[in-house]
Structure 1
Amino acid sequence: MQALVQPYQSAWKLEFDRLKNVLERALEGFAVDIQHVGSTAVPGLVAKPILDVDIIIHDKPLLEPIDQTLQQLGYRSRGEQGIPGRFAFRQSGVTTPHTADGRAWMEHHLYVCFADSLALKNHILFRDALLQDPKLTEAYAQLKLNLVSQPGMTRERYTTLKTEFILSVLNTAGLGQHELAAIQEANR
């Protein structure tokens, strides 16, 4: 399982910036914010080389036209996948989002999140905690490296053990027990 994570690459931020630019142009006229979340958003943190991108919306009526726009760019809508307020989109191929130059993009997970959703709160609070505390980032990196080096480690077990760390950080950040239980359930 060692190949799952790689050392931080500064190219991840550059790729996110390019992707954000394309998405902002495509979604011009919609009131959205686009955030780089997940481990690739944290300098120095080992990560799976997959960007996590949250498109944040405040108004539920925006969901349908944004969904249609993203599908025109080549994304496949996957729905909430059991996580309320977070709608997943997957690339239909390496050239998604489709651009005039036919560029190949780094693999990424795209989510449209309601601004008041627990899923978004989880992503932003955890990312920001890591960005603000280098010791916490190092502890998370060591946990990930230790997990992937264990013989017989499965992706499911890896996720479960990471979730325990994430919940601890979110608890310190002030999330309540009900919210933490919902996040734990979503990560099973």
Structure 2
Amino acid sequence: MPTFEDITRHHDADPDEHPWVNGPPPPTTVVLTPYDPGWPHRYRTLAADVRAALGDVALDVEHVGSTSVEGLAAKDIIDIDLIVADPRDEDAYVPPLTGLGYTLVVREPSFHQHRMLRLADPVVNLHVFGPDSPEVVRHRMFRDWLRTHPEDRARYEEAKRAAIPGGGNVMAYNARKQEVIREIYDRLFRAAGML
């Protein structure tokens, strides 16, 4: 289990690391859609497929990201955290997921051995972490905080909308909303007695 220090520290990937397995994706326009009450059902179907394909390799599967927060506008992309014993052992999970249509697109050893696979239809970002990754805890805490704190949910949605006009790729969009995300993390960590 990660320590409070591990969880509350903002980890960044090595800037010299080239995470894109097949090169960076082309710039896309970020489009936010109103909350879709069908997102949780879509997640449950996707999660069941992942669990069926991986069996015991899937230690846990969680709906995270904006589509997991009722009432929050989001990109129409389901974010899922998949916990496996060792993300470096790609042979244990990539081939079965490839059979479902997923493609390995990101490999970030410097960021908790993070891997990301993408499904094109419906669009899914499947984030792979190990059981001791602090990022898994952070994702769940952020999701749960936004579910129960409407002021921060609204603040986050406002930051997302303000980040769109800058254009560029999703990484640039994410960077433009990072300050607000970190402010929210600070509040939720303090409320949890972790800071």
Give the shorter-chain TM-score range: 0.7 to 0.9
- 1:154 counterpart = 2:170: no
How far the C-alpha of 1:12 sits from its partner, in A, is: 1.1
The one of 113, 120, 124 equivalent to 1:85 is 113
Partners of 1:132 and 1:58 in 2: CA distance: 31
Partners of 1:18 and 1:127 in 2: CA distance: 20
Give the aligned partner of residue 123 of structure 1: 139
- 1:34 counterpart = 2:61: yes
Partners of 2:64 and 2:187 in 1: CA distance: 19
Asked if the contact 2:58–2:82 (Cα under 8 Å) also holds between the matched residues in 1, the reply is no
Give the aligned partner of residue 174 of structure 1: 189
3-state secondary structure, aligned to 2:115? strand
Kindly tell me the number of residue pairs found equivalent between the two proteins. Answer: 160
Indicate the structure with greater helix content.
1
Partners of 1:27 and 1:137 in 2: CA distance: 33
How far the C-alpha of 1:115 sits from its partner, in A, is: 2.0
How far the C-alpha of 1:2 sits from its partner, in A, is: 8.3
> Per-residue CA shift, 1:144-167, capped at 9, x if unaligned?
22333x4xx224553222111111
Partners of 1:26 and 1:166 in 2: CA distance: 34
How far the C-alpha of 1:88 sits from its partner, in A, is: 0.9
3-state secondary structure, aligned to 2:147? helix
Letter matched to residue 81 of structure 2? D
Letter matched to residue 124 of structure 2? H
> Per-residue CA shift, 1:10-55, capped at 9, x if unaligned?
1111111111111111122335211111111101101011111111
RCO comparison, higher one (Cα < 8 Å, 6+): 2
> Per-residue CA shift, 1:41-94, capped at 9, x if unaligned?
101101011111111124568653122221222222234235223211122x43
Give the aligned partner of residue 5 of structure 1: 32
Which is worse superposed, 70-79 or 38-47? 70-79
Asked if the contact 1:88–1:109 (Cα under 8 Å) also holds between the matched residues in 2, the reply is yes
Partners of 2:88 and 2:158 in 1: CA distance: 42
Partners of 1:113 and 1:61 in 2: CA distance: 9
Give the aligned partner of residue 113 of structure 1: 129
Give the aligned partner of residue 142 of structure 1: 158
- RMSD over aligned CA atoms reads 2.6
Asked if the contact 1:86–1:120 (Cα under 8 Å) also holds between the matched residues in 2, the reply is no
Q: Are residues 58 and 169 of structure 1, via their aligned partners in 2, closer, same or farther at CA, if it must alter by over 3 Å?
A: farther
- 1:132 counterpart = 2:148: yes
Give ranges in structure 2 of 5+ residues lacking alignment.
Answer: 1-27, 191-195
Give the aligned partner of residue 97 of structure 1: none
Partners of 2:58 and 2:163 in 1: CA distance: 40
Give ranges in structure 1 of 5+ residues lacking alignment.
Answer: 95-105, 176-188
